[in-house]
């Protein structure tokens, strides 16, 4: 009689454990599906982001705003946004606004450099790299000449 009680308890415990693990697995699967759907709808393409960042630069009076399409030409990125600012303060404020726009659209920069000096600010969003130069640095580095075979995208501003 003692053996029957022990085996009955063991089977009851095993069944309870099996039920708990199956419930946990189904909950995890549905949670993963929900977050995956949310991420797809919130993200914008690299091309859209580069165009919107260019519009920010134009709206803040940057000169010579250019987007180079490096898709298939560079293993590092797909788009370069190049713009010239008139002052260090303007360059930094445009960079901050592009960063805010990226954060709003769930795009975090992989790296950023030059915010302290404001002569050449680089914002690396992996698929899009934003270069904000002062006139002297833009002439010196001449990225358009370096990437001369890249196609330039047309930027349509709503002015």
Full-model pTM: 0.71
Residue 110 has what pLDDT? 94
Cα separation, 43 vs 142, whole angstroms? 31
Which of 97, 78, 76, 75 is closest to 67 using CA atoms?
Answer: 78
Stretch 51-58: mean pLDDT: 96
Q: Please write the tens of the pLDDT for every residue from 104-118.
A: 999 999 999 999 999
Q: Please write the tens of the pLDDT for every residue from 69-122.
A: 999 999 999 999 999 999 999 999 999 999 999 999 999 999 999 999 999 999
């Amino acid at each position: 009689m003692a053996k029957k009680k022990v085996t009955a308890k063991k089977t009851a415990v095993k069944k309870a454990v099996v039920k708990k693990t199956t419930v946990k697995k189904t909950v995890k699967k549905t949670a993963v599906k929900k977050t995956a759907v949310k991420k797809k709808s919130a993200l914008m393409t690299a091309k859209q982001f580069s165009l919107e960042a260019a519009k920010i630069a134009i709206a803040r009076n940057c000169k010579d705003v250019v987007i180079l399409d490096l898709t298939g030409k560079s293993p590092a990125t797909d788009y370069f946004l190049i713009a010239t600012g008139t002052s260090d303060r303007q360059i930094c404020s445009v960079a901050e606004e592009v960063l805010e726009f990226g954060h709003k659209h769930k795009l975090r920069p992989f790296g950023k450099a030059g915010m302290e000096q404001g002569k050449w600010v680089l914002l690396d969003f992996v698929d899009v790299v934003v270069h904000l130069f002062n006139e002297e640095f833009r002439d010196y580095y001449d990225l358009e000449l370096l990437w001369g075979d890249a196609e330039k995208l047309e930027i349509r501003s709503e002015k």
